[in-house]
Amino acid sequence: MTMVQSRPEVVIVGGGIGGLFAANALIAHGLRVAVYEQAPALGEVGAGVFMTPNSVRHLERVGLGPAVEKWGAKVGAGSCYFRHDGAPIAPVQVTDSSGWNATFGMHRADLVEILASALPAGVVHIGHRCSGFEQNGDVARVSFANGAVAEGHVVIAADGMHSELRQFVAPPSRPVFHGSVAYRGVLAHERIADWPTDCWLMWLGQGKHFLTFPVRAGQLINYVGFVPADQEMKESWSAPGDPDVLRREFAGWDPRIGRLLSQVQATFRWALYDREPLSTWTRGRLTLLGDAAHPMLPHLGQGANQSIEDGMALATILARADRKTASKSLLAYERLRRERVALVQRGARENGLRYDSVYSDLGVRDAEITAHANFRKQLYAYDVVPEAQAAAATLT
Ligand SMILES: Cc1cc2nc3c(=O)[nH]c(=O)nc-3n(C[C@H](O)[C@H](O)[C@H](O)COP(=O)(O)OP(=O)(O)OC[C@H]3O[C@@H](n4cnc5c(N)ncnc54)[C@H](O)[C@@H]3O)c2cc1C
């Protein structure tokens, strides 16, 4: 790595998956970082996240491969799309184009714990809710509701869908509600002992779809039921849902779903929002990352994976920057990432239409689902590092 004099010091606002991974990647590239999280403790709700090779390769690069192998549940052959009644549609290809299988179901709390515990002591500051931002030619300053102030040469807004810092970069925009909610939760595998612990399984029906995959080395099964909703609710992880309503939504589907749902005692409800792609992510020393930059629907399972790609791209580019060139480097990061994530944001919307079977001829849907394997292979094969290195080289 080229040593750069007067390296930029980085402030990250938001200690979710995006902010914590970015901190790991920046530290791996020799930069000084502080993370400020509003919550009184780091944590996540009881739900799963599906990690795909395009981000797992970066977790491996920062030394977290063994932790992902240990806490994740590797998903492999046997993964399948079904019609609502259980008739198979197509296998789910979970490998990348080279055949490398690095696709893991993870409990969100496990991933946050892995990312946080890899950071040196003193990097993460909890109980800091960002409430203001200012910058001049030399430095950027973040203020917090508790009266604290943090200064850096770069500020990364990783503060999620409802980002406080986005207003300092982009014109106001409204989240787009997509007319459905997801019921989510995890079940102990022992309660559904014959459920496969190495498969991603999805059932598709009119206006609804149902997904399961294993997490925590197969000890838990994550489920998500997507159903229509006519009422907007603020996007939230913690809104409780009614298990009986969830069971009624999928009554008459494949009996395997009924069997799994009969074990559910508590569930979360989460409304599906995204935003139109932003025209800009960066102003001076401030840039956006993860859901703050590009909230997307979950229908490609890419929100967390793309936030990890963002963090790796940013760290690779900032590693070559000094305090003076930091702003230029942030623009290079934005140029590299904006087009790819816009493609994924659009792709997630399109896939949602397939998943909710908005087709008069289900044969057409099934053919598209089968053919979609090619898109996923390209998505998973992508490695942001060589492109970020090339972008950084043009700046020096
Ligand atoms: C139901 C569901 C299923 C999903 N499934 C997948 C999947 O399978 N695969 C996948 O890749 N992605 C998935 N995602 C998306 C993924 O969870 C998100 O895209 C990802 O967590 C983005 O991380 P983030 O760090 O940008 O934002 P967040 O996880 O929202 O983190 C933002 C952090 O910033 C903090 N914060 C907010 N405001 C402030 C403030 N003012 N000051 C300080 N801190 C602040 C918050 O407390 C939070 O900790 C799913 C999302 C949902 C909701």
Residue 395's pLDDT is: 87
For the chain, domain boundaries: 9-52+64-73+105-174+277-355+384-393
Mean pLDDT, range 111-138, rounded to an integer:
97
Mean pLDDT, range 248-264, rounded to an integer:
98
Q: How many other β-carbons are positioned within 10 Å of the β-carbon of residue 12?
A: 29
From 44, 49, 211, mutation site for ligand 1 pocket: most ligand atoms within 8 A of C-beta? 49
Q: Indicate the SS3 state at residue 193.
A: coil
Query: Do the Cβ atoms of 89 and 83 come closer than 8 Å?
Result: yes
Q: For the chain, give the mean pLDDT.
A: 93
pLDDT tens per residue, range 145-192: 999 999 999 999 999 999 999 999 999 988 899 889 999 999 999 999
pLDDT tens per residue, range 279-330: 999 999 999 999 999 999 999 999 999 999 999 999 999 999 999 999 999 9
Q: List residues near ligand 1 (CB under 6 A).
A: 13-19, 36-39, 49-50, 128-130, 158-161, 164, 182, 184, 270, 290-292, 298, 301-305, 307
Residue 238's pLDDT is: 64
Asked whether the predicted pLDDT for residue 266 surpasses 60, the reply is yes
From 281, 291, 310, mutation site for ligand 1 pocket: most ligand atoms within 8 A of C-beta? 291
Q: Which residue has the higher pLDDT, 321 or 360?
A: 321
| CA of residue 31 relative to chain centroid, distance | 24
Residue 2's pLDDT is: 47
| Region of poorest pLDDT, from 41-50, 253-262, 347-356 | 41-50
Going by alpha carbons, the residue nearest to atom 48 of ligand 1 is: 16
* DSSP letters spanning 45-61: -S-EEEE-HHHHHHHHH
pLDDT band at 393 (very low <50, low <70, confident <90, very high): very high
Residue 234's pLDDT is: 62
CATH code that applies to domain 9-52+64-73+105-174+277-355+384-393:
3.50.50.60
pLDDT band at 1 (very low <50, low <70, confident <90, very high): very low
pLDDT band at 197 (very low <50, low <70, confident <90, very high): very high
Asked whether the predicted pLDDT for residue 55 surpasses 50, the reply is yes
Q: 222 alpha carbon to ligand 1 midpoint, in Å?
A: 17
pLDDT band at 68 (very low <50, low <70, confident <90, very high): very high
Q: 180 alpha carbon to ligand 1 midpoint, in Å?
A: 19
* DSSP letters spanning 61-102: HTT-HHHHHHHSEE--TT-EEEETTS-EEEEPP-S-TT----
Asked whether the predicted pLDDT for residue 45 surpasses 70, the reply is yes
What Rg value do the Cα atoms of the chain yield, rounded? 21
Residue 4's pLDDT is: 59
pLDDT band at 235 (very low <50, low <70, confident <90, very high): low
Residue 93's pLDDT is: 78
pLDDT tens per residue, range 5-43: 699 999 999 999 999 999 999 999 999 999 999 999 987
| Region of poorest pLDDT, from 25-34, 59-68, 100-109 | 100-109
pLDDT band at 196 (very low <50, low <70, confident <90, very high): very high
List the structure tokens of 267: 């569930």
User: How much of the chain exceeds pLDDT 90, in percent?
Assistant: 85
From 13, 17, 380, mutation site for ligand 1 pocket: most ligand atoms within 8 A of C-beta? 17
Residue 388's pLDDT is: 98
Beta bridge partners of 98: none
CA angle (313 as vertex; 311, 318 as ends), nearest 5: 95
